[in-house]
Amino acid sequence: MATWSMTAVAIALLFQVGICYGQSLDLAVRGYGLSIGDAPRTNGLRINFVDVRLKHVNGVNLSVWRTQPFVFETATVNGLNLGVVGPRAAYINGVGIGVLEVVARYRFAGLAIGGIAAFGGEDISGVALGGVAAGSGGVTRGLVIGGLAAGSGQGLRGVSAGLLAAGTGGDIVGITVGGLASGAGESVTGMSIGGLASGSGGSVDGLIFGGIAAGAGGALTGIGLSGAVVGSGGDALGLFVGGLAVGAGGSLSGISASLGIVGAGGGQYGIATAGLAVAAGKSATGIFTGGLAVGIGENMKGIGLSPGVVAIGGRLTGFGFGGVAAMAKEVHGVSIGGFVNGAHTNGGSFHVFTETTRGAQIGLFNFTRDLKGIQLGLLNYVGNNPRWARLLPIFNARF
């Protein structure tokens, strides 16, 4: 009975003192002890209904209702800031726990746990856990997990995860995972994973994965994986697998694979295989296979294979096989075209003959203006042979 009476008195005292803003009952020795009410400064345990005049607490601050604006702009809590509704302060260093939310107007350093949200207006350093959302308006450093979303306005450093989304308007350095999407407005260094999409407005160095799309507005270095599309606005270097397409606005180097298209606005270097086509706007070096076509805008060194067409705008150095046709302006090696061997395009115009062949042409119909080597096919044309030997069946040669 005595215990219930004392509890009732304490609650009544808390409400009575807390409602009288700026008043408190202080039980302290040399500035350290217990304060009940709206004491501006406390070293020890401070208990209050709603914080209005709070300036500084070293220890534990326990409040019932949401902090008022003045405190939100100026107060500092070093230790434990615990609130039934939502503890707030300008700076929280230590642990902040709120049934609904915990918010630091400027900076939070330590552990923040909010039933709905955990937030730092400028920066968070440490661990932030929010039932719905967690993040900061500035840079977040450490571990940030939001039930639906995790993010920051200027940068993520560490590990961040959200059931729906995780991202930042700045850079990502570390690991970011979003159930639907993850991304950075600037660069990604580390790992970015999104159930549907993952991307970066700048460069990516590391691993990027998106169920439908994964990409970088700048360069992509590392590993890019997607069920549909992997892309880079700049150069791409590493391992890339896209269900429908892999593409780079600049050069594409490394290993690339897709059921659809692997393409680069610049050159391609390494190994590329695609169910439909492999294409490069400039030169290529490596091994390239395309279900319908392999197309290189300038020179190719290596091996090009396709059941359809292999087309090289410049020189083929190595081996080219096209089940329908093999086309190159120049051949230094072996060119095999199932039907036609020798045509090429130049400056948008179509030419029937390969200009120069140093090696071998094999196909039903082989055409070259200048040959040092052999031709095998139904009809073989060599422009620099004597007139009687320019067009021959089965075999033609010039050395």
What is the percentage of the chain residues whose pLDDT exceeds 70?
A: 92
If pLDDT is split at 50, 70 and 90, which confidence band does 347 have? low
Task: Read off the pLDDT of residues 33-59 as tens digits, 9 standing for 90 and up.
Answer: 999 988 889 999 999 998 888 899 999
Classify residue 66 by its DSSP letter: P
Query: CA-CA distances (angstroms) from residue 350 to 76, 214, 279, 399?
Result: 76, 37, 18, 27
Residue 139 in this model has a pLDDT that exceeds 90 = yes
Confirm if 51 and 70 have CB atoms less than 8 A apart: no
| Cβ burial, residue 198 (10 Å; 0-12/13-18/19+) | buried
The radius of gyration of the chain from alpha carbons, rounded to an integer in Å, stands at 35
The pLDDT score that the predictor gives to residue 104 is 93
The torsion angles phi and psi of 285, rounded to 5 degrees, stand at: -135, 125
In degrees, rounded to 5, the angle at the alpha carbon of residue 262 between the alpha carbons of residues 327 and 223 is: 145
| Gap between the Cα atoms of 47 and 61, Å rounded | 6
If pLDDT is split at 50, 70 and 90, which confidence band does 85 have? confident
The pLDDT score that the predictor gives to residue 22 is 56
Take residue 228 and report the two structure tokens written for it. Answer: 């549909």
If pLDDT is split at 50, 70 and 90, which confidence band does 174 have? very high
If pLDDT is split at 50, 70 and 90, which confidence band does 24 have? confident
280 Cβ contact partners less than 8 Å away, ≥ 6 residues apart? 252, 263, 264, 266, 267, 268, 295, 296, 297, 298
SS3 content of the chain, % helix, strand, coil (to 5): 5, 70, 25
Return the C-alpha torsion angle 146, 150, 156, 159, nearest 10: 40
| Gap between the Cα atoms of 19 and 377, Å rounded | 101
Name residue 354's amino acid.
T
Bridge partners for 61 per DSSP = 46, 81
The pLDDT score that the predictor gives to residue 135 is 94
**Three-state DSSP class for residue 265:** coil
Over residues 59-75, mean pLDDT: 82
The residue that leads in pLDDT, 14 or 24, is 24
| Gap between the Cα atoms of 399 and 394, Å rounded | 17
Confirm if 368 and 354 have CB atoms less than 8 A apart: yes
Lowest-pLDDT range of 4-8, 185-189, 257-261, 347-351:
4-8
The pLDDT score that the predictor gives to residue 87 is 87
What is the percentage of the chain residues whose pLDDT exceeds 90?
A: 80
Confirm if 66 and 82 have CB atoms less than 8 A apart: no
DSSP string covering 292-357, please? SEEEESS-EEEEEEESSEEEEEEEEEEEEEESSEEEEEEEEEEEEEEEEES-EEETTEEESSEEEE
**Three-state DSSP class for residue 110:** strand
The pLDDT score that the predictor gives to residue 348 is 60
